[in-house]
Structure 1
Amino acid sequence: MTSRPTRRRGAALEDAILGAAVDELTESGFAGLTMDRVAARAGTNKNAIYRRWPNRLALGVAAYQRLTTTVPVPDTGSLREDALELLRGANRHWSSPLGAILRELMAAAGGASELVGRLQDRSAVAAPWLTVLGRAVARGEVAPEALHPRVATVAIVLLRDEFVVRGAPSAPDDVLVEIVDEVFLPLVVGRAPG
């Protein structure tokens, strides 16, 4: 007597679908991600996927989120060095195969601000920058007024511009140094009560 496979539901089915989507995304990129292939790999049907994610892009974003990990925040004792380490880490990520997937998803999302927001959660992007700025405030390198999310993330936004707008596959280190020395540090050091 053969046993029939147990039908998965809820979290187990969602986990299988996301696992299959992650595998497809890492093997074929967003361009190769199809609902048919994810369904086949997950051992389910497309309707089960569409009930959870309305389209291929939403599924791709969810799969990418599963792939990302948090990175340790540098603590070199210097705001300049911490900022450079954060930018260098982001540059390595965006230059990696996982970063290529991120760029594909951002391009596909276009004006879908909700999906772009999920790809790069502002609070998650700001957190390491606010941490290094908080440490710099504690060391007396900058005034507490520098602890503002928009100010904190200006460097990472400029780096993202290199990838998204300019289409650079990787930003040269001198660009990272220029962003920190010519824009970020003058902005945060010059930020005074007002």
Structure 2
Amino acid sequence: MNAAFTIERTVVTESTPGRRRGDDLERAIFEAALAELAEVGYANLRMEAVAARAKAGKASLYKRWPDRARLVQAAARYKATEVEPEFEPSGDLRGDLRKVMAHIAAQQATPFGEAIRGWIGELRGTPSEVADELRTRIEHPRIRIFAKIFEDGVARGTVRPEALHPRVVNLAPALLTHHFLTRAEPADDAAVDEILDLVVLPLISTGAA
């Protein structure tokens, strides 16, 4: 055969130079999974569609995660590390709480929120240590922010000291999550204000200005 017409074929594998591997490949898959969740929801999520969006082989997914539940849990853990901002209380108790609550509601409107919805739907089949780790990654950063606001309020005399109990500190995000899961949409501004003014502030406030 004429050399000018010879076609050289290269077999592309995960080890081919220039092909994403390791952390880079996992990040691409997680972002693809979250994007798919945003478009089709958890019920319609397919591993094949995630692989195609990530430009990865299906074997790359199944080698790491045996099913979509494990993939979504991993994507949620990945996203949970970057969704909570640093926050310093301003001294305006209601304003600070409302700002953080609105931030949580906004997160729930993103693919991260859809990932959490899917994870909770598969919770019964999730190993307890995996569930505990994901819950820790999601809840603890939020609890730290609310605890910081409450501690500032206690120091200023606007928050009751007993409000520092972990269940009270986690009340606002828990109610936001309940709204999100039971109504299939994040709390809007009116719902955030109701939770804050009818439940949270009456429970924690000393009534001092």
- Secondary structure, aligned partner of 2:85: coil
Match of 2:3 in 1: none
- Secondary structure, aligned partner of 1:51: helix
Q: CA, structure 1 residues 80+109, in 2 after alignment: closer, same or farther (shift >3 Å)?
A: same
Q: CA, structure 1 residues 168+40, in 2 after alignment: closer, same or farther (shift >3 Å)?
A: closer
1:47 and 2:68 aligned: no
Counterpart CA distance in 2 for 1:41 and 1:169 is: 26
Point out the structure with max Rg over C-alpha: 2
Q: Which amino acid aligns with 2:202?
A: P
Counterpart CA distance in 2 for 1:147 and 1:79 is: 14
Match of 2:122 in 1: 109
Counterpart CA distance in 1 for 2:144 and 2:123 is: 25
Counterpart CA distance in 2 for 1:173 and 1:10 is: 41
- The CA deviation at 1:105 is 1.5
- The CA deviation at 1:117 is 6.1
Counterpart CA distance in 2 for 1:75 and 1:152 is: 15
Which shifted more, 113-122 or 27-36? 113-122
Counterpart CA distance in 2 for 1:69 and 1:181 is: 25
User: Which of 115, 137, 160 in structure 1 is aligned with 2:177?
Assistant: 160
Match of 1:13 in 2: 25
Is the 8 Å Cα contact of residues 76 and 115 (structure 2) preserved in structure 1? yes
Counterpart CA distance in 2 for 1:58 and 1:101 is: 14
- The CA deviation at 1:116 is 8.1
Map residues 1-194 of structure 1 onto 2, 5 A cutoff.
5-6=16-17, 8-67=20-79, 69-73=83-87, 75-94=89-108, 96-98=109-111, 101-102=114-115, 104-106=117-119, 108-111=121-124, 112=126, 114-115=130-131, 118=134, 121-165=138-182, 167=183, 169-189=185-205
Is the 8 Å Cα contact of residues 76 and 112 (structure 2) preserved in structure 1? no
- Secondary structure, aligned partner of 2:64: coil
Q: Which amino acid aligns with 1:148?
A: H
Q: Which amino acid aligns with 1:176?
A: V
Counterpart CA distance in 2 for 1:20 and 1:178 is: 36
Unaligned stretches of 5+ residues in structure 1: none
- The CA deviation at 1:178 is 3.0
Q: CA, structure 1 residues 179+12, in 2 after alignment: closer, same or farther (shift >3 Å)?
A: closer
Counterpart CA distance in 2 for 1:49 and 1:99 is: 19
Identity of aligned residues (%): 34
Counterpart CA distance in 2 for 1:175 and 1:66 is: 29
TM-score with structure 2 setting the length: 0.70
Is the 8 Å Cα contact of residues 25 and 63 (structure 1) preserved in structure 2? no
- The CA deviation at 1:99 is 6.0
Counterpart CA distance in 2 for 1:86 and 1:8 is: 36
- Secondary structure, aligned partner of 1:77: coil
